[in-house]
Structure formats: C-alpha cells, structure tokens
Amino acid sequence: MKEILNQFVIPNEVAEPQPLKIGFINDSFIIRAKNKGEKSYFLQRINHHIFQNVEGLQQNIWKVTNHIRRKLEAAGETDIDRKVLQLVPAKDGKLYYQTPEGDYWRVYVLIENTTSQEKVTPASAELTGQAFGRFQRQLSDLPFDELCESIPNFHNIEFRLHQLDDALADDPKHRKDDCKDVIDWIDRRRDEMCLAERLFREGKLTKRINHCDTKVNNILFDQDSKPMCIVDLDTVMPGFVLSDFGDFMRTAANTGLEDDPNPDNIHVDLDIFRAYARGYIKEATFLTPLEKQLLPYGCRLLSYMQTVRFFTDWLNGDTYYKILYPEHNLVRTRAQLRLVEEQERVADKMAEIIASLS
Ligand code: GN1
Ligand code: MG
C-alpha cells in the first residue's frame, strides 16, 4: 500500500489506508491526514474487468471535474472543493497508477463532513432532482463526444437486446424454455423501446453527458441534508438525458424493491416522481421540448433495459450481477418487468405532471 501511495502527489503526511465498505465494483480506502487541518484522501482500486479502458475512464473524470470546477468558479461559488471531486495525479503525470501486477489505482481528495442517504422522500427527491439536473447543466456545454463510453454501449438498448439474442441463441443453462412468457413480453416492446436510438440516428434527439448511475447514494449531502457533490463518476459518459432521469425513477419511484419477490408490491410512487421531476426540470434549463416530452418514456426505457440485462444474465448463468440465491436474476427480471407495466399504466399521469412543470 505504501508503495502505491508513494506514486501519487500527496504533499502532506498521511496515515495507513483503511478499507471502506462502499460500492460493489471498486475497492475503496480512506487515507486520513496525520495533522489536523490538512487534506485526507480517498484511494480506489479500479475494477478494470468492468472498466476496460482505464485511461479513457480517468480522462473522462478529469475533464468533467475540471469543467464543473470552472463553472463553479465563474459563478462565484464558495467552498468549491466540497462541490466537485478532485483527482490527485500520479507523480508521472498520469491520472492513475498501474502496479506491476496490472492493478489500477487512483486517488481523490476526500470531501469532509458529508453524509449519504439510501432512501428518498418527496422532500429529498426534489433536492436530488435539482442536484442531478444541475450536474447535467454544468456539463451541457461540454461536447458529448469529448468523453468516451467508459463501458461501451452501456445504456444502448439495441446493444442490450443483441446481447439478449446471443444469450437466447446459446442458452448455455437451458433456461429459456421456462421463460417463454418473459421472452414474448420483451419482444412485444422491442420496437417502442428502440425509439430513442432511432430518433438519435434521425438527428432529432441529441446525446449529452450523463451520470448513468443516478442513485441517491451517489450524492454527498452536507450536515443540513443539502446536496453538496455528485460522486461515483465512473459511468459519466455520453447518452440520452432519459438515462439519468429514468434510472433515478427506476430505483427511487418504486414502492417495491428492485428484486421484490412479490411483484404486487410494485407501483410507481407518483409523489417521488413529481418531486424529482420538479427539481430536475428547474435546473435542466437546456432540455428541448422533445426531451421533456420523452421523460416518462425514459422511465419505461430504463426499467425495460434493466429487465433485459437481468434476464440476459439469468440466461447466461449469472456471470455479471452478484446473486444472493439461485433464482435471484429471474426474480429481479420479473420485478423490473412489473415496474415497466406499472409505468405504462400511469404514463398519462406522468405526462400530465411533466406538462404542468414545463
Ligand atoms: C449495477 O452496482 P451498482 O448497483 O452501482 C449496474 C447498473 C445497474 C445496477 C442494477 C456498471 O450498478 O447499471 O442499473 O447494477 N452498474 C454497472 O442494480 O453495470
Ligand atoms: Mg454505484
């Protein structure tokens, strides 16, 4: 560990890294300053099996954090070091360090005195919507093609359906015959769900820079529960704004669980929907009328995409998502499928809410 830390530009004296139990993808450690008032740090081993282009990933984070920092400076904001993450470069100027064994490490300056939240209430949903809307707005003048896709085709439903078709063709665990109903259900919606990709090809829908993991636990809040800083920037990449809006609603505006064994628990929480949408639209002043109109569709798209991804992993024999019991991915599939149905049922209500906020 000392050897790793030694590779980074850390001017002050620090203690031994302590492991932190957060996130499933990277391994994280906290490095405390030895002397009061000096900087502490956040060390991570990057999962390069999931993020195969670490150079591109780190360049993305560098561009995004510097861009936001300049925006905050121009707006005359105070306390900027707590409002945007700051990468610590390695001594050779790179934005990461690769060990002789091939592991990749990176360091951020630690943002002090923050809390995180796992559950969303209508009140916190509005603030969360503002925070993610502001994040997109701050990046809205950074051309989307300046960033790479840190996971290629991450939120591209056409690609996810190709992956499903490959899994169906191979059917390595002989699971598809028991899932005819799911396959038919997915098939009936294919055309509709590829609409955003078609609109993009026709030049009608733009891509922008998205966070692509808009869970409330990716926001650091200050002591007064005000959002301070958006974190977990690994999946920040070009995409449709529908991704960030839809993925938040998929995870937060659901009265049931992502993997609820009883799909009857699953309904759309329209109070959360309204509150988040209000906060988001207030800040996302760059949205075109078409983007706004597509927001309810974005909710269905992201839930459908997750249905397809869980189901593909089920067919492939659970190679991507960690499972807690043998049928977990199938249970997740059915829970997300029900969420899409529920979102279809209240599509008109969602559209009314969006129209009333515009
Ligand atoms: C993964 O590990 P977590 O919860 O941050 C996945 C998301 C999925 C989510 C489903 C890199 O995110 O895209 O929506 O699981 N992240 C990656 O729970 O694949
Ligand atoms: Mg995450």
Q: What is the pLDDT of residues 202-227, one digit of tens each?
A: 999 999 999 999 999 999 999 999 99
Reference 4, options 35, 45, 36, 37; nearest CA is: 45
Please give the C-alpha separations between residue 343 and each of 87, 117, 268, 346, 358, in angstroms, as whole numbers.
39, 25, 6, 5, 20
Nearest alpha carbon, ligand 1 atom 1 = 321
Q: Is 49 in the pocket of ligand 1 (CB under 6 A)?
A: no
Gap from CA of 307 to ligand 1 centroid (Å):
12
Q: Is 22 in the pocket of ligand 1 (CB under 6 A)?
A: no
Gap from CA of 218 to ligand 2 centroid (Å):
7
Reference 342, options 276, 260, 255, 271; nearest CA is: 255
Would the pLDDT of 293 be above 80? yes
* Contact yes or no for 90/204 (Cβ under 8 A): no
Q: What are phi and psi of 222, to 5 degrees?
A: -85, -175
Q: Is 213 in the pocket of ligand 1 (CB under 6 A)?
A: yes
Gap from CA of 213 to ligand 2 centroid (Å):
6
Give the pLDDT band of residue 22 (cuts 50, 70, 90): confident
Nearest alpha carbon, ligand 1 atom 14 = 306
Would the pLDDT of 241 be above 90? yes
Percent of the chain residues topping a pLDDT of 90: 97
Q: Is 24 in the pocket of ligand 1 (CB under 6 A)?
A: yes
Q: Is 323 in the pocket of ligand 1 (CB under 6 A)?
A: no
Reference 233, options 62, 43, 41, 93; nearest CA is: 62
- Number of the ligand closest to the Cα of 24: 1
Model confidence pLDDT, tens digit, residues 83-119: 999 999 999 999 999 999 999 999 999 999 999 999 9
Q: In the predicted model, what is the mean pLDDT of residues 62-73?
A: 98
Q: Is 75 left (phi over 0), alpha (psi -120 to 50) or beta?
A: alpha
Nearest-atom number in ligand 1 for the CA of 302 is 14
Nearest alpha carbon, ligand 1 atom 10 = 306
* Contact yes or no for 196/160 (Cβ under 8 A): no
Model confidence pLDDT, tens digit, residues 110-160: 999 999 999 999 999 999 999 999 999 999 999 999 999 999 999 999 999
Give the pLDDT band of residue 21 (cuts 50, 70, 90): confident
Nearest alpha carbon, ligand 1 atom 2 = 24
* pTM exceeds 0.85, yes or no: yes
Nearest-atom number in ligand 1 for the CA of 247 is 14
- Number of the ligand closest to the Cα of 328: 1
Model confidence pLDDT, tens digit, residues 243-281: 999 999 999 999 999 999 999 999 999 999 999 999 999
Please give the C-alpha separations between residue 289 and each of 181, 197, 201, 278, 292, in angstroms, as whole numbers.
36, 17, 18, 15, 5
Exposure string for 164-173, b = 16+ CB within 10 A, e = fewer: beebbeeeee
Please give the C-alpha separations between residue 206 and each of 3, 199, 233, in angstroms, as whole numbers.
45, 8, 21
